[in-house]
Structure 1
Amino acid sequence: MAGNDGTVGKALEVLDQVAGFGRPVRFSEVLTDSAFPKPTLYRLLQTLVSQNMLSYDHDRQTYAPGARLVRLAHAAWAQSSLAQVASPHLVALSAVTHETVHLAQLDHGQVLYLDKRNAAHPVEMFSQAGKVGPAYCTGVGKAMLACLDAAQADAIIAQQSFHRFQPGTLTTPTALRRELQAIRARGYAFDREEHEPGIICIAAPVLTGSGRVLGAVSVTSTTARTDLAGLEALAPQVRETAQAIARDAAKWSFPDTGTRSLKLAGE
């Protein structure tokens, strides 16, 4: 919990909460969902404003991410995000497939979308760079989960809500583990309209030489445009893109260290 990290942890929790609204937000809205008493929350917001981590609009009486936070976010993207390394590969994959391409990483049991390259005719969907989504019912999430070692996978599976978004959503740890075994055998994952109606994808993990999970890349389309067989035909290109990203990442700032993870078939 943030309280165990003192004032800094509390301030970061408030910052995360404000940013999570995705729009300028009033004090009363933050207070409604806050675990902090009104005076504490007000003090933390004022501190964040004084440090330019949040901005305050006096006319509208709203809080929003501040210039300093935006600057830090850009620095993080440039220095430690897989997105910078992956960018040219995502552009190329989208151009070849004429479909939407995603790049994602695991973030505390969820999927964090790092980048998105739209098709020539984009389709409205949940995913956007900077958004988080469930790991158990997205192609990128399952592709990454399948490559974690048993202890890591168990820890993340325990964090899943297993909400039934669609009729085909996996809703139990047992069903998910069966799916992850199949993903390891074939080397890529599918989203079979499990998160959003009409949205399907094929995804492959981005792995270091020792099998450590860096992220995942996917090609996403709709059932109105193609089917799973059509996406599966793109599997070699998706996997080649993931491997190219991994090679470039190894040359940059992602040393091949850390817990050894499982490898997929054909790796």
Structure 2
Amino acid sequence: MPHHERESGTAPTLIQSVRRAVRLMDQLERRGGTGSAKQLAREAALPLPTAYHLLRTLVHEGLVRNDSGAYRLVSPLRRGPGCGTHEPALGIQAWVDTLSRELDAAVYFARYLDGEVRLDTVSRNPARPPVGEWADFRATAHAHAAGQSLLLQLEPEQRDEHLNRHRVTALTAHTVATRGEFDRRLATTPRRRPVLEHQEYALGTACAAVPITVGTAAAAVALSIPAAEGARLRGLADRLQERAERVLIAQTFAVAAAGHEP
């Protein structure tokens, strides 16, 4: 019997969650498409709470059905055309718009491409307008949550090269003002956890960002709210991470359905 993974003091990365979900789906297929949470956890060598969490996500995505505690595979890992999962099919713009309404916050999708931070998509929600780009987002990654999350995902040499080109400067009284201080902050920040920042890029605004790494591409989903609502930020960040995890899991099986490796 395989040894169960040990629960550590840190949360699993999004990619680890995807891999674990794949293992659960694989075990369901091996069992003929049905099994209990305890059976699947044991056979996939996962802690039972982890298996329950991932099975709930798979049920949410329409990949697994829960029939009174018996989990049933809705379709095989490599499904036919027309069986894609719902959230990735919406597209990034529709997804961030939906997140903005659900979280009651402005939402952003950013990537690190060709040595620069790129803000690809911003939610369209008049009730929660995005932060105005008063200082170039590309040059101020150290000051906003999306940029900090992207920088944390880079290799040290790549991050050094970026910060040598775009030097750390104070944008507000709350911004880390020196490179040394910023390096120390990154060294003590968990690489895969949500990043929170309060009024570092823009006064009156609090932000959070969640990292997403697929292959060699670094990306982040971020949100912003008025600083006066800062007490909501940690809870919103946790919800944002949960939704990002769901999308990665769904996207992995969408790729598998097309006959490609995730």
TM-score normalised according to structure 1 size: 0.54
Given the alignment, which residue of 232, 235, 238 partners 1:236?
A: 238
> What is the rounded CA distance, in whole Å, between the counterparts of 2:261 and 2:179 in structure 1?
30
- Residues 169 and 177 from structure 1, CA distance in 2 versus in 1: closer, same or farther, beyond 3 angstroms? same
Question: Match for residue 219 of structure 2?
Answer: 215
Structure 2 matches for 1:141-160, cutoff 5 A?
A: 141-160=147-166
1:171 and 2:173 equivalent? no
Would the aligned equivalents of 1:166 and 1:195 in 2 still touch at CA under 8 Å? yes
3-state SS of the aligned residue for 2:165?
A: coil
Paired letter, 1:192: H
Structure 2 matches for 1:1-267, cutoff 5 A?
A: 85-107=91-113, 109-123=115-129, 125-127=131-133, 132=138, 134-184=140-190, 187-208=193-214, 212-224=216-228, 226-227=229-230, 229-247=231-249, 251=254
> What is the rounded CA distance, in whole Å, between the counterparts of 2:144 and 2:261 in structure 1?
26
- Runs (5+) with no aligned partner, structure 1: 1-81, 258-267
Superposition deviation, residue 182 in structure 1: 3.5
What do residues 28-83 of structure 1 show as CA deviations (whole Å, max 9, x unaligned)?
Answer: xxxxxxxxxxxxxxxxxxxxxxxxxxxxxxxxxxxxxxxxxxxxxxxxxxxxxx9x
Would the aligned equivalents of 1:139 and 1:189 in 2 still touch at CA under 8 Å? yes
Q: What's the C-alpha RMSD, in Å, of the aligned pairs?
A: 3.3
Would the aligned equivalents of 1:147 and 1:213 in 2 still touch at CA under 8 Å? no
Task: Tell me: higher relative CO, structure 1 or 2? Use CA pairs within 8 A at least 6 residues apart.
Answer: 2
- Runs (5+) with no aligned partner, structure 2: 1-87
- Residues 172 and 105 from structure 1, CA distance in 2 versus in 1: closer, same or farther, beyond 3 angstroms? same
Would the aligned equivalents of 1:93 and 1:237 in 2 still touch at CA under 8 Å? no
Figure out how many residues of one structure are paired with residues of the other and give that number: 170
Paired letter, 2:104: H
Paired letter, 2:227: T
Superposition deviation, residue 139 in structure 1: 0.3
TM-score normalised according to structure 2 size: 0.55
The alignment-based identity, stated in percent, is 18
3-state SS of the aligned residue for 1:141?
A: helix
- Residues 214 and 125 from structure 1, CA distance in 2 versus in 1: closer, same or farther, beyond 3 angstroms? same
